[in-house]
A = this chain, B = another copy of it.
Amino acid sequence: MSKHQSKYSTIHYESYLKLQELLSIQNLRSEAVGDPAHEETLFIIVHQVYELWFKQVIHEMTSVINMFSSDSVDEKNIGTAIGRLDRIVQIQKLLIEQIRVMETMTPMDFLEFRNYLFPASGFQSFQFRQIEVMMGLQEDKRLTYNNYHYASVFDDKKKAILEATQAGNTLFGVIEGWLERTPFLNFGEFDFLSQYRDAVSKMLKTESTAISDSTYLSETEKEQRLKMLAGTDSYFDNVFDEDKHKAEQEAGHLRLSYKATIAALLINLYRDEPILHNPFRMLMTLIDIDELFTMWRYRHAQMVMRMLGRKMGTGGSSGFDYLQATASKHQVFRDLHNISTLLIPRSDLPVLPDNIKKELGFYFSEQSK
């Protein structure tokens, strides 16, 4: 057979997708023990679909981590990376919506075969743990699961893979590195930070004047609001003082390095400059991914509540409480999210000097004028 023929040899939908294998691995435990439960098919298929999507998420996440692992990220790659991260976003939306399908199973139908699943549990999904580790979830931020290490349910080979993933490049790590390397951090003569500090002061001053001059608020209310406003100052302190930022990092309140934080702030502030469009979309997509995993954990918890109430899960965990708690805790890109606190009105943005503006624009459009 010629090489050519092997290349375009014919293939059938069924063999291509390995449907015979795929459709023969829904083996009901309830059937095996002679007590078949109609709903167990749904239970298996829902979880198999989850695992297929997890494989896809890992495929995309791996490729993005690899792209960003080198010292110089090709500009073109950013577009591709955003596309792949956005695919993760679309898959996450499906993962969330899929819960509705699971919720068509009634608690009492679930209880019919639940005992046969023991002690299998969604907490044993190796791929989901891989995703968490690849994202950059830190071990000391993890909620423990029945006081055991989250990896204790896996065999040694799998444990080793998780450890290696954790030790290697994570999405958080490569994004932090990429931000630290952004060339536009170098402003030459232009002292960005001092101008930004002025803009922040102006914004806070406007607000305090508005409070003081208000004919609507009582004196007590004014006082209280001015006090709150003063409190927001502290959010900006870390930006103006690298040492404070480091202290916050050491205290575990912040994770992202100072340099990467400043880069992320600049990308947010000057997101309208053509060269920053894609970096900005990249940061937004990472926040989306974080938020959607949070949402998924939250909806998952709601579903467990409907199904089991506060009963113990098959894996021995207090399912609802664990999921509810991880929803808000297991976020990775919280520091990117918090950049919003540091934004100022567009009209107060320090005006970039022409030479920088030119660098941030497209060479082409400059030329063509």
> Are B312 and A346 closer than 8 Å at their CB atoms?
no
Beyond A52-B22, A52-B48, A343-B309, whether A79 also contacts B16 by CB under 8 A is no
User: Which residues of chain A from 1 to 54 have a CB within 8 Å of any chain B CB?
Assistant: 4-14, 16-19, 21-23, 25-27, 29, 33, 38, 41-42, 44-45, 47-49, 51-53
- Bound-state Cα–Cα, A235 to B100, Å: 27
The segment from A135-143, A167-175, A188-196, A212-220 found at the interface with B is: A212-220
Interface presence of A90 (CB below 8 A): yes
User: Which residues of chain A from 169 to 224 have a CB within 8 Å of any chain B CB?
Assistant: 183-184, 203, 206-207, 209-211, 213-217, 221, 224
User: Which residue on B lies nearest to A337, using beta carbons?
Assistant: B305
Copies of this chain, count: 4
> Are A232 and B17 closer than 8 Å at their CB atoms?
no
The residue among A75, A210, A343 with the most chain B CB atoms within 10 A of its own CB is A210
Instruction: Write the residues of chain A forming the contact surface with B, with a CB cutoff of 8 angstroms.
Output: 4-14, 16-19, 21-23, 25-27, 29, 33, 38, 41-42, 44-45, 47-49, 51-53, 55-56, 59, 63, 72, 75-76, 79-80, 83, 86-87, 90-91, 93-94, 97-98, 100-101, 104, 106-109, 111-112, 114-127, 146-147, 183-184, 203, 206-207, 209-211, 213-217, 221, 224-225, 228-229, 232, 235, 268-269, 271-275, 277-278, 287, 291, 298, 302, 305-312, 316, 318, 337-347, 349, 358-369
